[in-house]
Amino acid sequence: MAGAFAATQRSFDIAREAGLLVAAVPTVSHRNLRTEGFRALVEWARREDILVNLSMASPVGNWAGNEDCLLTPDDLAFLNDLVARTPHVRRDFETNFWQLGCGAATEKLYFTPFGDVVPCPYMHISFGNVRQTPVREIREKMLANRFLRGFAPACLVAEPGEFLDRYLPKELLQDRPLPTAEEVFRAARPG
C-alpha cells in the first residue's frame, strides 16, 4: 500500500520520541523471506537500531489451510543463518526471559476480547475463560498439556511436528467460538 512504510516509520519515531522501546514484529513466510522487501526491512532496522522480532507464518486465521505459507526446511536453514549473523534479528522463541524455546503458556498468555485465554496468538484453542475461571487455573491447565510444558525447542505452530500436523486448528474461526482444549485434544487429526 502506497505510503504505508513511511507512515509506519513515522509511528516508530513518535513512539521513540515518547521514550518507548520499540520493536518491529513482521511475519516471515515462504513467500516473503527471500524478498527485497524483507531484506530492506532488516537493513532499515539495523540503521535505526530497532529489534526485529520475527513471527513465522502459520496456516491459521485468514491463512487457514494455506500450507504454502509455511517455511520450508531450506527456508528454516536460511533463517537460522540470518539470525546467527544478525544480532538485531530474533525469532519469537529467542526473546524469552528464561531460556530459548517456545514460551507459550510458560511465559506468554493471550486474552481474546471475549475473555478466552490462549497460549499463543496463532494457537486458536481456549484453555478457559477469565469470566469463569481464574487465570492461574487456566495457566496450570495449559502447563499440564504435554506440548506446553516447558520450552518446546521449535515453534509449535510454524515448524513441522505433531502439534502442527495433528492438533493446530486450521479453520477460519470467524464468528465462531474458539474450540476448547478438550475438543482439540480429543479430536486429533490422524497422525
Residues that bind ligand SF4 (CB under 6 A): 55, 92-93, 102-104, 108, 120, 122, 155-158
- Least spacing, CB of residue 58 vs ligand SF4, in Å: 7
Answer whether 84's CB lies under 8 Å from 90's CB: no
Residue type for 63, please? W
**Which residues on adjacent β-strands are paired with residue 126?**
180
Q: Given the complex with ligand SF4, which of 46 and 96 has the nearer CB atom? A: 96
d(CA 121, CA 112): 9
Q: Given the complex with ligand SF4, which of 16 and 173 has the nearer CB atom? A: 173
* Residues ≥6 apart with Cβ < 8 Å to 77: none
Residue type for 56, please? M
- Least spacing, CB of residue 151 vs ligand SF4, in Å: 9
Q: Given the complex with ligand SF4, which of 45 and 152 has the nearer CB atom? A: 152
**Which residues on adjacent β-strands are paired with residue 129?**
116
- Least spacing, CB of residue 6 vs ligand SF4, in Å: 29
- Least spacing, CB of residue 101 vs ligand SF4, in Å: 8
Q: Given the complex with ligand SF4, which of 103 and 128 has the nearer CB atom? A: 103
- Least spacing, CB of residue 76 vs ligand SF4, in Å: 13
Answer whether 57's CB lies under 8 Å from 29's CB: yes
175: left (phi over 0), alpha (psi -120 to 50) or beta: left
User: Which among 165, 96, 177, 170 is positioned nearest to 131, based on CA atoms?
Assistant: 177
Q: Given the complex with ligand SF4, which of 74 and 94 has the nearer CB atom? A: 94
